[in-house]
Structure 1
Amino acid sequence: MAEATTQQVRIERMAYGPEAVGRLESGKTVFVAGAVPGDLVEVAVDRKAERYCNGHVSKVLEASPDRVVPECPYAAVCGGCPWAQISYDAQARHKRDGVVSALARIGRMGEERAEALVAPLVSPSAPWGYRNKVELAVVESGGRLSLGMHAADGSGVVAVKACKLLDKGHQGVVKSVAGALSYMANSHHLDLERVGVRVSTRTREVEVALWDRPGGFPRAAVAKVLADACKPTSVTRVMQKGPAKARKIAGQERLAGRGSWGEVVGAERMRVSAPSFFQVNTKGAEKLVELVMEGLDPQEDEEAMDLYCGAGTFTLPLARRAGFVSAVESYGPAVRDLRRNLDEARLDNVDPIGGDAGLEFPDTDADVIVVDPPRAGLAEQVVSQLSDQPARAIAYVSCDPATLARDLARFEEKGTFEPASVTPVDLFPQTFHVETVTILKRRAGR
């Protein structure tokens, strides 16, 4: 029998994603956008697959005790805050539960061991106003340029007056930048793909990064209109080439100001270029550094390794405490930022290595190691290379519980290292994302 297009559903739990999970009358799993565990809702089924369905809440019949009115008025239509209708205490529970579930199932640890291993979730920042960066989507229609946040249903952009996720002193910069560039587009052709905005309450720097394709560009006019709109300390243009799913940086231009963005993380002052990755939650980044340093406790006579090191978030504090650091990063702009940050910090005990972590794995014996890979996690080859190291401990910083769990299972198969602790850190309130810091210790006798 075909599923009805609308059904009453009791919501059971959160998925690792923007949606909650319930069951239709037939017993088929349904993933429901906008729902909260404990809700009784009327679900409109949007998409049907053989084993599950996707839908959205058309009416809340009985609200969960954990349902709240989102602080952001755009939460229901903007894709940036998919968990905004869930109380923060409940978000914290669901995030930790998601890490435990991944380790138990994907990591093959079992529920009891995973529960014992995973610490309570750490919340280093406020639930709102924590971000140092937002990206604006750009849509051109009928000769008009529209900038805003990505719509939750993928239908286009949502124009917003302010982003509640940005720190309070800069929330209005989204409207200012969007308005200035939309105005410019009336008289100049802007082939923009997206616009990045980075802000800092600590350095008071604001950077606007314009992402487009190589070609003509009204550099001076854009710099002037943005200067009038939001007084940025840096305006940069990042040019890309190649197909949409495999863009490559073709060049970067400084249109005004410093040409990079500055932030303070703990005791370190860092500069980051627009293409380089940097944690969007500065207080969260500081907590990650703290957990890594506490877990590894590097000593001045020890050698350290930092793989996927980016612009140096962990490299710099490691270099302050360890005797020598081998730092590996594959992304060219980040390698350049790393070298600049090391120079400005006057640290000369680091070997910055540009290249893939597996191919350019340092030819050295490390005592302590940090790995902070992208969402895809560690390549199996890198797990093997790490397992052959004589290190006493590894700190694995992960942004995806599923790939973390897979990699921990691979480490255990190798038999050299085993996880001693897993600490979830909430760098992304109002979303399903969760960061973790796992400390792996060398097994006795290995």
Structure 2
Amino acid sequence: MKLTIESMMYGPDGLAHAEDGKAVFVAGGVAGDVVEAQIVEDGSSFSRATVSEVLEPSPNRVDSPCPFVGVCGGCPWGNLSREAQLAAKEENLRSSLKRIGKFDDDAVAQLVQPIRATRDDWGYRNKIELAPTIQNGRFRLGLHGRDPQQIIHVDACPLFEKKFPRAIKAVSGALGFLGNSHDLSLERVGIRASRRTRALEVALWTPTGGFPRGQVSRVLSDALPSTSMVRVMSKGEKKARRVSKVEVLSGEGSWTEDIADSQMRLSAPSFFQVNTKAAEILIDLVMDALNPQPEEVAVDLYCGAGTFTLPLARRCEYVAAVEAYGPAVRDLRRNLEINHLDNVDVIGGDAVREFPDEDADVLVVDPPRAGLAPEAIDLIASTSARDVAYVSCDPATLARDLKRFCDEGTFVPVSITPVDLFPQTFHCEAVTHLTRK
């Protein structure tokens, strides 16, 4: 059928409507395209289609430096202009606040601030992950496709840190050579790179057990000199695997990044934002919202390895930081030592079960995509905090949680600022400032 793509959804697809008014989610087009599309799934309330031909290209359609747009899962919006991407991300946030958060148009217009972004729309990722596959009887590494079961072999990725253009090809080639003569049992391979510190780490994720450490270290080092090479061993059921040990194969055994006047050292299992420069925008927004004072106490929930803990510790008298993930807790303690900060109580455990007893003045939460549990909102409301900064990576769960905050009645949102940490994708972060009612 012939379709006009009207807008971009929170997802890789565009939205169009068939002649009968049924919504059609279209893969392979951008907002403004007139396309010939083929229906691949026809449901009762909506259909899914893929573009077979672009009949009239959108004025927002651009040429991408990536030849795998629409095939690889890393840059689904790679053919959409940056300006249109930013506008779509703002609109997706507004839509979630209205549909899920039940905020009216006036409230949304007052709350949502202009989206913040860096100049780098390509070459911004400090991390990339490669997945193993067997193609034509040979072991290879590649990127997950739009279909997660599909692995696409690439020599380079335009999203990855441009200071290390050879990294992907070198790692893929070396491990491809080894994988055809040894059982490496690779689950995935992570590469982290910093343009600021020039640190480069290769992390090999495997089950526990035998592994040709010496040969892997030697061949990989010859292919790509790195500051760190590690093996991350995991065990358990596939859906609930956990890290049992990190083994240093060569170099420092961790990756270093400079961010917002701090130096952070991270082990391979620890989370860190993939866009360092844009993460500094998050830090600035959190600090602007909280305006922490030298005599105040701060609480940092879901604190990770210290992205917000470190700047809070530089400004406050005391910080209570809570994190459940063991490797991140260890990294946080090390990062406090590196930055000579001794006014932080690091609490390992679930944010609800280990909620700090301290009488907080300011509080920041940066939960996973699932957002906050209702109990967490009740506990935050029970504090004496004057201001809360909520960092979210999902507009739907953010909107749900803000409605819960408003229903509870202690804190109300005063501003929500989207931040484009992930150009060429539909993903977007947001920092919400809530203040005591």
With normalisation by structure 2, the TM-score equals: 0.98
The alpha-carbon deviation at position 340 of structure 1 amounts to 0.5
The alpha-carbon deviation at position 37 of structure 1 amounts to 1.4
Alignment check: 8 A CA contact 2:27 2:70 kept: no
Long gaps (5+) in structure 1: 1-6
**Aligned counterpart in structure 2 of residue 324 of structure 1, from 309, 318, 329:** 318
Do residues 9 (structure 1) and 7 (structure 2) align? no
In structure 2, give the amino acid aligned to 1:138.
Answer: P
| Corresponding position of 1:86 | 80
**Aligned counterpart in structure 2 of residue 308 of structure 1, from 295, 302, 312:** 302
**Aligned counterpart in structure 2 of residue 358 of structure 1, from 352, 360, 364:** 352
> 1:8-47 counterparts in 2 under 5 A?
8-47=2-41
**Aligned-partner Cα distance in 2 for 1:17–1:347:** 41
Q: Judge which range, 321-330 or 343-352, deviates more.
A: 343-352
In structure 2, give the amino acid aligned to 1:165.
Answer: L
| Corresponding position of 2:268 | 274
Do residues 209 (structure 1) and 222 (structure 2) align? no
The alpha-carbon deviation at position 155 of structure 1 amounts to 4.3
**Aligned counterpart in structure 2 of residue 423 of structure 1, from 369, 392, 417:** 417
**Aligned-partner Cα distance in 2 for 1:77–1:140:** 19
| Corresponding position of 2:192 | 198
| Corresponding position of 1:375 | 369
Alignment deviations for residues 85-130 of structure 1 (CA, whole Å, 9 cap, x no partner): 1000000000000111111111111122112210111012411111
**Aligned counterpart in structure 2 of residue 232 of structure 1, from 223, 226, 231:** 226
**Aligned-partner Cα distance in 1 for 2:31–2:186:** 40
The alpha-carbon deviation at position 153 of structure 1 amounts to 2.9
The alpha-carbon deviation at position 313 of structure 1 amounts to 0.5
Question: After TM superposition, which residue ranges in structure 1, 4 or more long, deviate above 3 angstroms?
Answer: none
Alignment check: 8 A CA contact 1:214 1:240 kept: yes
Alignment deviations for residues 121-145 of structure 1 (CA, whole Å, 9 cap, x no partner): 1012411111100011111356521
RMSD over aligned Cα atoms: 1.1
Alignment check: 8 A CA contact 2:232 2:247 kept: yes
SS in 1 for 2:5: strand
> 1:333-352 counterparts in 2 under 5 A?
333-352=327-346
Alignment check: 8 A CA contact 1:146 1:157 kept: no
| Corresponding position of 2:151 | 157
| Corresponding position of 1:243 | 237
Do residues 50 (structure 1) and 44 (structure 2) align? yes
Alignment deviations for residues 339-385 of structure 1 (CA, whole Å, 9 cap, x no partner): 00011111110000000000000011100001000000001100000
Alignment check: 8 A CA contact 1:74 1:160 kept: no
Alignment deviations for residues 141-200 of structure 1 (CA, whole Å, 9 cap, x no partner): 565211011112334211112110112111321111111100111221111111110000
Alignment check: 8 A CA contact 1:306 1:369 kept: yes
**Aligned counterpart in structure 2 of residue 261 of structure 1, from 255, 258, 270:** 255
With normalisation by structure 1, the TM-score equals: 0.96
**Aligned-partner Cα distance in 2 for 1:178–1:370:** 39
Long gaps (5+) in structure 2: none
**Aligned counterpart in structure 1 of residue 391 of structure 2, from 378, 394, 397:** 397
**Aligned counterpart in structure 2 of residue 286 of structure 1, from 276, 280, 285:** 280
| Corresponding position of 1:3 | none
In structure 2, give the amino acid aligned to 1:339.
Answer: R
Q: Percent identity?
A: 56
The alpha-carbon deviation at position 248 of structure 1 amounts to 1.2
Q: Judge which range, 97-106 or 299-308, deviates more.
A: 97-106
Number of aligned residue pairs: give it: 437
| Corresponding position of 1:109 | 103
**Aligned counterpart in structure 2 of residue 181 of structure 1, from 160, 175, 179:** 175
